[in-house]
Amino acid sequence: MAENLAKPDGLDSLAPAQSLKNFSEIANAASARNAIKRKGALLHSSSYEIEDGVLLELAARGGAVLFSFSDVLHERGFRRGIILSKMRLLLSAARKRKCGFAVCTLAKKPEELRNARELTAFAAVLGFSDVERKDAERRMGELVRA
């Protein structure tokens, strides 16, 4: 579906996450353990609850945790605050474990797509430093091409 979408200004590339061989949507600890067996895995959990052991193994294999703008876009009020808080906690845990992380849209509809400037602002809201943001952009490019 996403291949047919018009690219908004500021996007270098557009690829549906499901087409990436190293992308995994995880629902629980067991699915996370299976997903991180691949080198360079991209993990996304809409609950943003990933165990420390998974983060350590993900770091050892050169993978990254994905933070999705669409998860925040669909929530309002108190629930949006809760999901942002969970994202920040996971970001902190990923930093401690030296695990990679990146920001993406994971858009399911054309109106959910965001350009690079908006994703940069989202990364700033989560607490990414400029160095971390640039590293995340580089890492995401490498993992998408892998």
Ordered structural domains, the chain, with CATH: 13-145 (3.20.20.140)
Instruction: Determine the distance from the C-alpha atom of residue 83 to the mean position of all C-alpha atoms in its chain, rounded to a whole number.
Output: 14
pLDDT at 4: 37
| Strand locations in 46-143 (E) | 64-68, 100-104
Q: What is the pLDDT of residue 55?
A: 94
Q: What is the pTM of this model?
A: 0.81
Task: For the chain, give percent helix, strand, coil, nearest 5.
Answer: 55, 10, 35
Check residue 58 and give its pLDDT.
92
Specify whether the CB–CB gap between 49 and 83 falls below 8 A: no
Please report where in the chains the tokens 């500021």 appear, as a residue. 10
E-state strands within the chain: 23-25, 42-44, 64-68, 100-104
Pick 10 or 126 by higher pLDDT.
Answer: 126
> Of 33-42, 84-93, 106-115, which one has max mean pLDDT?
84-93
**pLDDT tens-digit map of 20-30:** 678 888 888 77
Beta-bridged to residue 64, according to DSSP, are 42, 100
